[in-house]
């Protein structure tokens, strides 16, 4: 365990230095010692390097850490001192007997890597770490064994502040109005089901996850609850290197992928190729009690039970080239391909009862669904650095094409009867064709040592065509069902300009910005000749303030205005027909919602504990609300219930969040997240529908005023056992929450994993179990007076056991250490600006 103990010791020494960096009060006759530390090979600044000032008999007088530019400022009384520089994996350096009589600048000092030290350092580049910046938190996923063999959806579900429900919807601090980006780009998420895209990408392709709770004007204004940016892996280590990952599991979860990289002085080639075969069996049920429209008394009961076998076979490949045209100019090009085919056979049983709970019959509905999805994306980026102080211009462009086709054959029959007159047979198709392009420019100009000016442009252009069809078998021929058929054309053109300025005055820092976006959106239902154009432009201001009490304690306050545009399934009026009586339907008339977001944060670091907490307020106009209603239709005598999004007048969300990292011992690390929030909605809505049988038009007024309290918590523990075996345990809990039409019940889950490095740390074998107790289920109660009372449970995926093996070649620990340092300098993922 020598290597492990050494790396942990170095980590704790760094923490101790950070606490030690709180300088004692300066003497009355103090003078300043300033300077800068850089890496000898890359010439990049060294952040968090330790500078120690000692007397000639080696008594420490003061010390501190370098900032993001590698610079330091210390105060001492005039005298003669030994000045020492230390940084993990670098040779220590000493300036002996330096005479200090007045303010002294020691200049720039280049530190060289220490190969001996590096050989004794654990593979830090593959650990899960967090980096807290002014406007975001960056989680380095690395070699997180909890998600080995999983998908990007599993990755997000293990990131603090984020949660993923049984349907794959991502929430940030309990708010699902969040924008998901991949490498800073929408990446074909406008029309596709976001949850499905995240479940198709393998977890091992992710390098970092950026969580931006209150984005500045530099970022896209989309996402009322914030932004989550998923940064994919790109090779950075020198020479030819890479890794191969293979996994298998139960239920069927097999895959193999490789990351290859070659880096020289003039260029860097990186690639990722993978294949996966996954079966995600799930189940759900809905027990409904139907009520009389006049008396609210029970008229009938229906218990719906469904099982699914979601089989996905996916191939993904990417190839990229970074070309270092000179020391200041870099041109990057990348091409990615993704293709997935799948089957989703579902079996649904409907047990029907009369008002007195007498059994009537059982219907069996079988849907044989298959899907094909392909994506092609090309992106290019040109970065010009005018100097080493951050003065740069970056121009990015990308274009992508996404095709997604789904087809299903559906049969619905009454069991144990010879009466076949009421049996129905249908077939459906849902074909999507999306094209998206992006053009962006970001300019950064440092002003002096403490100020920075930024400006930029972003143009996003998308077109989505969705051809949805449903056909009924009548007299031996399939006839179009106009109620569930439509051709949707969605066009979105958004042009944006932004500017912002930030500065630091002593311990106080601030940043203010303004973003302007012009949106031109067409939502056209071609089948019904219904054309809708929505043209609007908005200003989105933002402001950030920070105060450093010390190097281990700071306070921040931020404000921003956000927008949330409805897309994809929110707009498409076509409803899938896996169930004949519980349907989802988009609303093409839904409008964007706008949010005012305020966040007050506090960060405190101790020797073994780091606390990051915040209080936040979100005030949203025209908020989206998913509601259930009956549409006047029946299916074989059973009322049809629709779930659809609508705009409500107002939503007030207030909450507290706590993130704690605690290292009680060298062999034990704990991190936890707790989020408590209050959610108040104000508004009402009138549903208008026509009874299919009688033709009577009904206006159903519903009051959606509601106040709900809820909380979520997550605890993650990682212990190093003897023989260098790592054990990780992750527990999650979501408290119940009321809404205007019912209640979401509590949900809990527990995951665990074991991992061990083998072959002299060149390989890792890991075993993980997702949802140990098979308890991750969405449970919802619904009550609509004079219509329906129901209870439903939905489990997307049953308990999963996965065994994975990772082998790394030609990637020594020295290279991995340098790769981590480059990543911390923020080179990847800054694309999101604009």
Strand partners, 211: 137, 228
Question: How many C-beta neighbours within 10 Å does residue 623 have?
Answer: 25
Chain centroid to Cα 3, Å, comes to 33
3-state secondary structure of 65: strand
- According to DSSP H, which parts of 71-162 are helical? 115-119, 152-156
When computed from its CA atoms, the radius of gyration of the chain, rounded to whole angstroms, is 29
Q: Looking at per-residue confidence, does 1 or 441 come out higher?
A: 441
217: left (phi over 0), alpha (psi -120 to 50) or beta: alpha
Last residue of a domain, one of 72, 89, 119: 119
Residue 298: is its pLDDT beyond 80?
yes
Phi, psi of 119 (to 5 degrees): -65, -20
pTM for this structure? 0.75
Q: Is residue 717 part of a domain?
A: yes
Does 130 map to a domain?
no
Give me the mean pLDDT over the 460-478 stretch: 92
What is the reported pLDDT for 45? 81
Domain stops at, among 90, 119, 148: 119
**Nearest-angstrom CA–CA distance, 50 and 46:** 10
Q: Please give the Cα distance from 320 to 509 (Å, whole number).
A: 38
Measured CA to CA, the distance from residue 779 to residue 283 in angstroms comes to: 12
Alpha carbon separation from 232 to 197, 201, 204, 406 (Å, rounded): 14, 10, 9, 28
Give the C-alpha separation, 348 to 305, whole Å: 5
pLDDT at 114 > cutoff 70:
no
Element of type H or E holding 150: none
* Helix (H) or strand (E) segment spanning residue 398: strand 392-414
Question: Do the Cβ atoms of 192 and 203 come closer than 8 Å?
Answer: no
- d(CA 179, CA 619) in angstroms, rounded, equals 17
**Does 225 map to a domain?**
no
The Cα 613–Cα 173 span in angstroms is 12
Instruction: Measure the CA angle with vertex 293, ends 287 and 298; round to 5°.
Output: 40
Mean pLDDT estimate for the chain: 83
**Bigger pLDDT: 326 vs 187:** 326
Q: What is the pLDDT of residue 148?
A: 67
Give the pair of three-digit tokens for residue 2: 């020598």
Query: Taking residues 661-669, what's their average pLDDT?
Result: 89
Asked if residue 168 lies in contact with residue 218, where contact means CB atoms within 8 angstroms, the answer is: no
Predicted pLDDT of residue 112? 77
CB atoms within 10 A of CB 375: 21
- Residue 353 covered by a domain: yes
Task: Give the pLDDT band of residue 460 (cuts 50, 70, 90).
Answer: very high
Residue percentage of the chain with pLDDT more than 70: 86
What is the C-alpha separation between 517 and 674, in angstroms, rounded?
35
Residue 51 lies in a domain: yes
Pairwise pLDDT comparison (299 vs 189), residue with the higher score: 299
Which residues are bridge partners to 808 per DSSP? 243
Work out the pLDDT band at 117, boundaries 50, 70, 90: very low
Q: What is the mean pLDDT of residues 332-340?
A: 93
**Report for 112-116, 117-121, 342-346, 809-813: range of highest mean pLDDT:** 342-346
* Gap between the Cα atoms of 394 and 514, Å rounded: 19
What residue numbers bound the domain in which 10 lies?
Answer: 2-119
Q: Which of 1-5, 704-708, 709-713 has the lowest mean pLDDT?
A: 1-5
pLDDT: is 394 or 146 the higher one?
Answer: 394
Q: Which residue has the higher pLDDT, 675 or 127?
A: 675
- The 10 Å Cβ neighbour count of residue 470 is 23
DSSP 320-345: EEEEE-SSSEEEEEEEEEEEEEEE--
Task: Return d(Cα 320, Cα 380) in angstroms, integer.
Answer: 9
pLDDT at residue 422 in the model = 81
Residue 101 has pLDDT above 50, yes or no: yes
Please say if the pLDDT value at position 673 is more than 60.
yes
Q: Give yes or no for residue 118 having a pLDDT over 60.
A: no
Instruction: Report the percent of the chain where pLDDT is more than 90.
Output: 46
- Kindly state the helix (H) or strand (E) to which residue 300 belongs, with its residue range: strand 298-324
Q: Tell me the C-alpha to C-alpha distance, in Å, between residue 280 and each of 182, 314, 365.
A: 24, 14, 20
* Mean pLDDT computed over 99-107: 90
> pLDDT-based confidence at 50, cuts 50/70/90?
confident
Cis amide bond preceding 251, omega within 30: yes
Structure tokens at 481: 């069902």
* Between 307 and 137, the higher pLDDT residue: 307
Q: Which of the pair, 820 or 520, is modelled with greater confidence?
A: 520
Q: Where are the alpha helices (DSSP H) in 235-299?
A: none
pLDDT at 743 over 90: yes
**66: CATH:** 2.60.40.10
The tally of domains found in the chain comes to 2
- C-alpha–C-alpha distance, residues 258 and 622, integer Å: 46
Residue 582 belongs to domain with CATH number: 2.40.170
Question: Among 57-61, 471-475, 771-775, 814-818, which stretch is predicted with the lowest mean pLDDT?
Answer: 814-818
pLDDT at 162: 84
The residue from 93, 119, 145 where one domain ends is 119
Instruction: Report if residue 471 sits inside a domain.
Output: yes
In a domain, 211, yes or no: no
3-class DSSP state for residue 471? strand
Place of tokens 């779930």: 643
Q: Any idea what the Cα angle at residue 13 is, between residues 7 and 19, rounded to 5°?
A: 145
- Condensed to tens digits (0 to 9), the pLDDT of residues 475-489 reads 889 999 888 888 999
Please report which confidence band the pLDDT of residue 1 belongs to, taking 50, 70 and 90 as the band edges: very low
pLDDT surpassing 80 at residue 514: yes
Span of 163-177, 351-365, 493-507, 745-759 with lowest mean pLDDT: 163-177
Q: How confident is the model at residue 26 (pLDDT cuts 50, 70, 90)?
A: low
Rounded distance between C-alpha atoms, residue 800 and residue 485, angstroms:
37
Banded model confidence at residue 19, pLDDT cuts 50, 70, 90: very low
* Residue 444 falls inside a structural domain: yes
Q: What is the pLDDT of residue 191?
A: 41
pLDDT digits (tens, 9 = 90+) for 162-211: 888 766 778 888 787 888 887 777 654 444 456 666 766 777 778 888 88
């Amino acid at each position: 365990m020598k290597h492990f103990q050494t790396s942990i010791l170095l980590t704790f020494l760094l923490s101790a230095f950070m606490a030690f960096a709180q300088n004692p009060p300066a003497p009355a006759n103090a003078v300043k010692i300033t300077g800068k530390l850089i890496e000898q090979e890359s010439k990049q600044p060294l952040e968090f390097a330790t500078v120690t000032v000692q007397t000639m008999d080696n008594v420490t007088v003061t010390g501190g850490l370098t900032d993001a530019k590698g610079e330091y400022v210390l105060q001492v009384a005039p005298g003669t001192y030994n000045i020492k520089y230390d940084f993990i994996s670098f040779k220590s350096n000493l300036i002996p007997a330096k005479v200090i009589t007045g303010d002294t600048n020691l200049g720039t000092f280049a530190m060289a890597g220490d190969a001996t030290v590096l050989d004794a350092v654990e593979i830090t580049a593959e650990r899960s770490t967090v980096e807290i910046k002014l406007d975001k938190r960056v989680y380095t996923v690395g070699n997180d064994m909890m998600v080995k063999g999983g998908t990007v959806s599993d990755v997000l579900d293990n990131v603090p502040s984020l949660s993923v429900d049984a349907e794959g919807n991502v929430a940030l601090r309990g708010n699902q109005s969040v924008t998901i980006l991949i490498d800073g780009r929408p990446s074909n998420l406008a029309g596709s089901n976001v949850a499905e895209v995240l479940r198709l990408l393998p977890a091992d392709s992710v390098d970092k996850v950026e969580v931006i709770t209150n984005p500045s004007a530099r970022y896209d204004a989309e996402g009322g609850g914030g932004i989550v940016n998923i940064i994919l892996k790109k090779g950075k280590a020198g020479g030819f290197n890479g890794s191969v990952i293979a996994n298998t599991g139960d239920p069927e979860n097999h895959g193999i992928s490789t990351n290859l990289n070659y880096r020289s002085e003039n260029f860097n080639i990186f690639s990722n190729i993978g294949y996966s075969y996954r079966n995600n069996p799930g189940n759900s049920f809905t027990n409904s009690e139907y009520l009389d429209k006049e008396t609210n008394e029970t008229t009938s009961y229906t218990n719906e039970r469904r099982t699914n076998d979601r089989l996905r076979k996916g191939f993904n490949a990417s190839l990229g080239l970074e070309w270092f045209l000179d020391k200041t100019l870099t041109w990057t090009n990348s091409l990615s391909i993704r293709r997935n085919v799948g089957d989703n056979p579902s079996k649904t049983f409907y047990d029907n009862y009369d008002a007195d709970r007498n059994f009537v019959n059982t219907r069996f509905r079988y849907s044989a669904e298959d899907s094909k999805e392909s994506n092609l994306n090309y992106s290019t980026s040109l970065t010009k650095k005018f100097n080493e102080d951050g003065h740069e211009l970056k121009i990015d462009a990308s274009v992508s094409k996404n095709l997604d086709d789904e087809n299903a054959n559906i049969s619905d029959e009454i069991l144990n009867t010879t009466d076949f007159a009421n049996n129905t047979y249908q077939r459906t198709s849902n074909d999507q064709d999306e094209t998206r392009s992006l053009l962006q420019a970001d300019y950064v100009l440092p002003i002096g040592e403490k100020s920075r000016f930024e400006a930029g442009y972003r143009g996003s252009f998308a077109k989505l065509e969705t051809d949805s069809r449903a056909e009924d078998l009548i007299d031996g021929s399939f006839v179009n069902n106009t109620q569930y058929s439509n051709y949707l054309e969605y066009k979105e053109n958004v042009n944006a300009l932004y500017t912002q300025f930030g500065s630091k005055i002593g311990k106080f820092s601030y940043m203010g910005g303004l973003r302007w976006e012009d949106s031109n959106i067409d939502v056209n239902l071609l089948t019904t000749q219904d054309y809708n154009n929505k043209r609007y432009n908005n200003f989105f201001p933002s402001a950030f303030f920070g105060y450093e009490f010390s190097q281990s304690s700071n306070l921040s306050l931020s404000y921003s205005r956000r927008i949330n545009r409805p897309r994809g399934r929110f707009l498409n009026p076509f409803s899938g027909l896996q169930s004949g009586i519980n349907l989802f339907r988009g609303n093409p008339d839904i409008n964007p919602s706008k949010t005012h977001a305020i966040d007050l944060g506090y960060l405190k670091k101790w020797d073994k504990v780091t606390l990051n907490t915040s209080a936040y307020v979100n005030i949203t106009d025209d908020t989206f609300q998913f509601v259930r209603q009956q549409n006047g239709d029946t299916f074989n005598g059973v009322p049809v219930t629709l779930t659809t999004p609508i705009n409500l007048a107002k939503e007030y969300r207030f909450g507290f969040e706590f993130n704690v990292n605690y290292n009680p011992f060298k062999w034990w690390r704990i991190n936890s997240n707790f989020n408590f929030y209050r959610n108040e909605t104000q508004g009402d809505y009138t549903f208008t529908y026509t009874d299919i049988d009688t033709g009577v038009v009904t206006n159903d007024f519903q009051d959606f005023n509601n106040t709900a309290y809820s909380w979520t918590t997550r605890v993650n523990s990682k212990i190093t056992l003897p023989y260098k075996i790592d054990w990780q345990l992750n527990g999650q809990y979501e408290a119940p929450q009321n809404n205007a039409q019912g209640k979401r019940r509590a949900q809990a889950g527990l995951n665990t994993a074991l991992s061990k490095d083998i072959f002299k740390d060149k390989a890792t074998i890991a075993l993980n179990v997702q949802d140990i107790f098979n308890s991750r289920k969405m449970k919802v109660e619904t009550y609509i007076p004079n219509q329906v009372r129901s209870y439903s449970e939905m489990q997307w995926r049953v308990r999963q056991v996965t065994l994975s093996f990772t082998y790394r070649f030609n990637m020594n620990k020295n290279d991995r250490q340098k790769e981590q340092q480059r990543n911390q300098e923020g080179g990847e993922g800054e694309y999101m600006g604009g």
